[in-house]
Amino acid sequence: MPWDEGLVNSLVYEAPDPGTGRSLGYAKAINEALDIALAHDPGVFVLGQGVDDPGAMFGTTRGLQEKYGAARVFDTPLSEEGMMGVCTGAAMNGMRPVYMHNRPDFILLAFNQLVTHASKYHYMDNGQTTVPMVVWAAIGRGWGSGAQHSQSIQGLLLGVPGLKIVMPSTPYDAKGLMLAAIADNNPVLIFEHRWLMKKDGTVPEGFYTVPLGKGIYRRRGSDITIVGASHALEVALQAANKLAADGIESEIIDLRTLKPLDEQIIAESLKKTGKILVVDTGWAMGGVCAEIGCLAAEKWFDYLKSPVRRVGLPDIPTPAGYTLEQFYYPDAEKVAGVIREMVKK
Amino acid sequence: MIRYEYSENGYQGWGAARGRFQDEFLVRLFRDMLRIRLIEEEIERRYHQDQMKTPIHLVIGQEATSVGCCAALRKTDLLYSSHRTHGNYLAKSGDLKAMLCEMHCRINGCVGSRGGSMHLIDKSVGMAGTSAIVAGAIPIAAGSALTAQLQGLDRVSVVFFGDAGTEEGVTSESLNFAALKKLPVIFFCENNFYSVQSPLATRQPPREIYKWAAGYGIASVRVDGANVLAVYEAVREAVKRAREGGGATFIEAPVYRFRAHGGAGDDSHTGYRDTAELKAWEEVCPIETYFRFLADAGLITIAQREHMHAEIMLEVIEAFDYALASPNPEEKDLYAHIYSD
Ligand SMILES: Cc1ncc(C[n+]2csc(CCOP(=O)(O)OP(=O)(O)O)c2C)c(N)n1
């Protein structure tokens, strides 16, 4: 199944500097996180469709069943809601399930258990029960993924109290955020992006965590603040680097966690630049872009020197065909155009 | 027209079985059922006063299932429930005062006024979780059983649901998974023939629910839900199977609710079921038939029953008084436990 392999390989990423530490592939970094968690905590188990097959969930689960046994690393029936409920029930009883999905689209079948059960019990029974579970999925794009295999559903979940939502953008973060998510006592969703998963990066050995709810500056500048996560941030970085040649200096914040949101880092940067562009892999309408844009207008209006802008997906289902897709997804060129307009004002 | 008939034999033939049980145990089952009935009736009596601002789903007529089941469980076994929680909670020894405080929206309710009557939880006695979403707790109970299996715990998980619960897709998913993993879980279906006001016949083809469940490859039985001893024995066998590594059991127990789906009073007059059907089932009331069985065996007298009744009512009135005198939550209580640390 080639899906978007060809396109992934054609993307050029900055090669990691070997001087800064060990370089590791993205999927391998996640694999290492799962390996450490399984070794460290007998309550952790990993499940998902095909986690023990040759593809091994993009390689993230490779070798884990051999090492930890079929009781703790196992393939599941095609029963997304049922298995989400099984994870919830296990988490409520002290286990730490990590439920892996090929695509966020498949999680939509499990919204009842995720939204109406897993995220609710701790509050609903007055703190008696905790639900420490991780739900992981990789957003698809390209090669015919189309309307049903490319959805970014973080925006649909952003308004659900009790959930945490993580979107890593580097192998370092993918490992550190996974370990933090497993250690967290709440249901945590991790949305990866397929196009990041062939990326290499500097990844420390052993156990470390990247804190949930904290963003990080990926680029410093004073002309404009760009906020986002995951692959959308990658595109924004490409745009920003291009514009630097013209003397436009963008400040880029990688949120790492969308919920809880690091409002402090956004406010800090916006106070300096007075301009904010929000980028996301999902639909601009009613999602991450809309929420953060609204927050800027509501809380930091006094800092704003120009209208809030957003670059997400248009209010259209994803087309499957290659040419239509090029019109659909915003690229670095488009993001650069928006930045230019905003900085000119 | 009587659409759904009682098709069992009551306690006929159970006299011989008496020796299998201790007399005290037999009487306790009666008291437990009577207590649930009296609590439910008191809730019903007061419901119109609007002090209990919570939906209620009374179990009047369905006491034998909760009591028979819980008598076969240990305190450490876990019970999961649906929207119809009262009988489950009380039979699993949930605290009555905490229940009534919850129903009166007080801060010392069993879940701090965040749940109401559909979320009666008392983890200290294994009343482990409920869902107000039909079938919502079914996969959760399977996950609870998976935990026991992975951790090597001698613990059985039981989940109660109604006939409509078997129609949700997740129930099929859960039965399949429980069969696959041989999970120590009991799926307890109280078939009361109606989902709100929709009869079974408009929702499922003519077939027996327990036979449908057997198709998933787990042990599946049908038991008289109006007979507390029959329920007890069926659950005891299922528990034994679960503890011995034999996997899951599905139990279908035909029962009848003597009241409307929700709220106080009966609603048969609206026409979705015949009052004659209700009357016929009231003839086989699980409490009265069992009382006659015990009385015939010389284990209880009317005077003893009256004494028991008075004793329970004292407890119930005291618990209501306690609830009504309990404090309401404050605004700050809204903000606790959104996330767990
Ligand atoms: C998923 C879902 N759909 C509909 C409802 C509304 N509802 C609440 S209880 C109920 C009846 C369920 O009947 P059954 O499962 O047989 O249980 P019973 O009430 O008879 O005990 C319905 C339809 C709900 N709570 N959840």
Q: pLDDT of B37-75, one tens digit each?
A: 999 999 999 999 999 999 999 999 999 999 999 999 999
pLDDT tens column, A30-87? 999 999 999 999 999 999 999 999 999 999 999 999 999 999 999 999 999 999 999 9
- What is residue A163's predicted lDDT score, i.e. its pLDDT? 98
Q: What homologous superfamily is domain A5-202 in, according to CATH?
A: Thiamin diphosphate (ThDP)-binding fold, Pyr/PP domains (3.40.50.970)
- What is residue A14's predicted lDDT score, i.e. its pLDDT? 56
- What is residue A15's predicted lDDT score, i.e. its pLDDT? 59
Averaged pLDDT for residues B310-332:
98
Q: Across the interface, do B177 and A77 touch by the CB < 8 Å criterion?
A: yes
Confidence of residue A9 (pLDDT cuts 50, 70, 90): very low
CA distance A190 to A212: 11
- What is residue A16's predicted lDDT score, i.e. its pLDDT? 66
CA distance B60 to B38: 9
Q: Which residues contact B186 (CB under 8 A, 6 or more apart)?
A: B156, B157, B158, B159, B235, B238, B239, B242, B248, B249, B250, B251
Is 50 exceeded by the pLDDT of residue A160?
Answer: yes
Alpha helices, H only, A204-278: 230-244, 263-273
What is the average pLDDT value for chain B, to the nearest integer?
Answer: 97
CA-B133 nearest atom, ligand 1: 26
CA distance A151 to A146: 9
pLDDT tens column, A91-146? 999 999 999 999 999 999 999 999 999 999 999 999 999 999 999 999 999 888 99
Domain residue spans of chain B: 16-326
Residues in chain A closer than 8 A to B248 (CB atoms):
none
CATH 3.40.640.10 fits A216-344, yes or no: no
- What is residue B42's predicted lDDT score, i.e. its pLDDT? 98
Averaged pLDDT for residues B283-301:
97
B83 lines ligand 1 (CB under 6 A): yes
Of all protein residues, the one whose alpha carbon is nearest to atom 18 of ligand 1 is B162
pLDDT tens column, B111-132? 999 999 999 999 999 999 999 9
Mapping DSSP to helix (H, G, I), strand (E, B) and coil, where does residue A202 land? strand
Q: Across the interface, do A117 and B169 touch by the CB < 8 Å criterion?
A: no
Q: How much distance in Å is there from the Cα of A213 to the middle of ligand 1?
A: 38
Q: Which of B138, B195, B252, B257 to mutate to test the pocket of ligand 1 (most atoms within 8 A of CB)?
A: B195
Q: Residue B277: which H helix or E strand, with range?
A: helix B275-282
Averaged pLDDT for residues B159-183:
98
pLDDT tens column, B221-244? 999 999 999 999 999 999 999 999
Confidence of residue B16 (pLDDT cuts 50, 70, 90): confident
**Amino acid occupying residue A298:** E
Averaged pLDDT for residues B263-268:
96
Q: Across the interface, do B129 and A123 touch by the CB < 8 Å criterion?
A: no
CB neighbourhood size of A197 (10 A)? 22
Domain residue spans of chain A: 5-202, 216-344
Residues in chain B closer than 8 A to A91 (CB atoms):
143
Is 70 exceeded by the pLDDT of residue A3?
Answer: no
Higher pLDDT, A204 or A144: A204
This prediction has a pTM of 0.94
Q: What homologous superfamily is domain B16-326 in, according to CATH?
A: Thiamin diphosphate (ThDP)-binding fold, Pyr/PP domains (3.40.50.970)
CA distance B25 to A262: 59
Please name the residue of chain A whose CA is at the shortest distance from the CA of residue B176. Answer: A77
Instruction: Report which of B70, B29, B12, B60 is spatially closest to residue B300, judged by C-alpha positions.
Output: B29
Higher pLDDT, B18 or A263: A263
- What is residue A18's predicted lDDT score, i.e. its pLDDT? 66
Topology match between the domains A5-202 and A216-344: yes
Q: Which residues contact A229 (CB under 8 A, 6 or more apart)?
A: A167, A168, A169, A254, A255, A256, A258, A280, A288
Residues B159 and B80 sit within 8 Å (Cβ to Cβ): yes
Averaged pLDDT for residues B76-105:
98
Please name the residue of chain B whose CA is at the shortest distance from the CA of residue A164. Answer: B339
Catalytic residues of A: 149
